[in-house]
Chains A and B, each alone.
Chain A
């Protein structure tokens, strides 16, 4: 790998961490449970790496591991987004007094 790639990855990591801290500190404390299920679904973006390993079929061993990894990540994507939305739907403001 060219040295430049390593450094540009390190920059991405640094900047994303700072953005993450800023954005997440602003998340409403009410929503910390949905926050955790949402970030969980988002980090299941790991699926993109697993897809290639499962699909390039370079060896049976790597294909099996890749396939299990895709299944694990898709589980997190599906259940993470669905349950986050289910929880967020429940947060309602005080109904106007009749």
Chain B
């Protein structure tokens, strides 16, 4: 090994260590920003070490690519925080694309030089399938989150058979390549099928399943980086990919548990179909009130819990929520936020939005912990959340969300729920919480309604 190569390997070793530290520091919000510093340092070291590589004959295109990546990357980092789920999906797509392209390039080079070993074909096969599935799958997810692609699940009879069949054919073609490397024409077929499978896999998935799907795509992106590491025999890539993959897997497991569902059920269950005729609509009445009524209830409470959901993000109402928080805490009222793991469109979505609105993070409480407090809570304010507070999940075994852990909003003395109208939520499931005797519905756009509550609390007229 030449001194330059030793230096390159040393930079990779340092990068791997820094990446692990980077994630370790995320265990506490106080040290978390140090983690970003460690990640940047590791990345800089690894890139610096790679640029020393003796096989590089020209830097022109590398510099061009760095410029292009920076020009795309900087605006992508400045999106509104409500758009973070789609940004994340796009970045999984870029990660998958890079893996797929590197695998394709290596295949063509080794095919040309006659250096394709069985191991290399196998590793490249896994890399390109995972990479391209992640690429188109994540693009579809981003499209759904941006509402360019219809967000409701698109399903048809035999869908799962078609999807699994496609994947099986792609994998089968890869296996044939292992034994007959001369049939290189199969390689483009593997690529095409993987791209198609990614699209079809995400088509039947609805908005409420996005937290799970984004986590799963994260795991795929990580594993495709691992496969790339095996192809290029690069240990820092294997390490970073494994960290990314295990993170995606852990988040997927947390999301699935929070919905009481399995991976297969999320991917092949097509949850969100409208249940025709299932909801025998009895004429039930709800109690509806004005923002003033809501303000009166809140004002006279000793303990208030706010349950935010995706509706808060859609209405961009997080700042109004913070103003309510300020008004109430000023009066000495104890205000907490109840965060369901799948609230929003990606893991941790609500925390980021509320942090942006300057709600202190020690007021953001996880589901299990807040459920212990809810029976002693005077008022629960539900903002844009629906299924995660539906008591049917606890006792109605016919409900599609039966068994899903929920925030026990119904156990508080009073509930105030804001909704645009009485239309049932995402899964077409009636929410009995809205019909309860101790629930007050305040209809209207979240931002407007909450703004009026703030005004009422501040003592201004709402008219």
Chain A residues engaging chain B, CB cutoff 8 angstroms: 1, 5-6, 8-9, 12-13, 16-17, 19-21, 23-59, 61-63, 65-95
Contact = CB atoms under 8 A, between A and B. Distances in A.
Given A31-B348, A67-B62, A82-B77, 18 more contacts: A9-B238, A12-B238, A24-B23, A36-B248, A39-B247, A40-B92, A42-B22, A51-B51, A51-B53, A58-B109, A63-B61, A66-B61, A67-B64, A68-B65, A73-B95, A75-B94, A87-B352, A94-B362
B106 A53 contact: yes
B148 interface: no
A69 B97 CA distance: 7
B313 to A, nearest CB: 12
B213 to A, nearest CB: 13
Report, nearest first, the 10 A-B pairs whose CB atoms are least far apart.
A74-B69, A78-B73, A32-B348, A20-B246, A55-B56, A82-B77, A43-B244, A70-B65, A16-B242, A33-B348
Contacts of B129: none
Contacts of B355: 30, 87, 90-92
B366 interface: yes
Interface stretch (B40-48, B264-272, B282-290, B445-453): B40-48
The SS class assigned to the A binding surface is helix
Contacts of B280: none
Contacts of A68: 65, 97, 101
B362 A93 contact: yes
B62 A70 contact: yes
B411 interface: no
A20 B242 contact: yes
Contact of A73 (B94, B242, B341): B94
A59 B106 CA distance: 11
B249 to A, nearest CB: 8
A91 B26 CA distance: 12
Nearest to A16: B242
Interface stretch (B219-227, B389-397, B424-432): B219-227
Interface of B: 12, 15-16, 19-20, 22-24, 26-29, 32-33, 35-36, 39-40, 42-43, 46-47, 49-51, 53, 55-59, 61-62, 64-66, 68-70, 72-74, 76-79, 81, 84, 87-88, 91-92, 94-95, 97-99, 101-102, 104-106, 108-109, 112, 117, 119-120, 214-215, 218, 221-222, 225-226, 228-248, 250-251, 254, 339, 341, 346-349, 351-352, 355-356, 358, 360-364, 366
B102 A50 contact: yes
Nearest to B21: A23
Contacts of B356: 87, 90
A11 to B, nearest CB: 10
23 contacts: A1-B119, A6-B119, A13-B230, A13-B238, A35-B348, A38-B23, A43-B221, A44-B98, A45-B236, A46-B225, A49-B229, A55-B56, A55-B62, A62-B105, A66-B105, A67-B65, A70-B69, A74-B69, A75-B73, A81-B40, A82-B74, A85-B33, A88-B36
Nearest to A66: B105
A62 to B, nearest CB: 4
A15 to B, nearest CB: 8
A12 B184 CA distance: 31
A80 B352 CA distance: 15
A85 B386 CA distance: 31
B23 A23 contact: yes
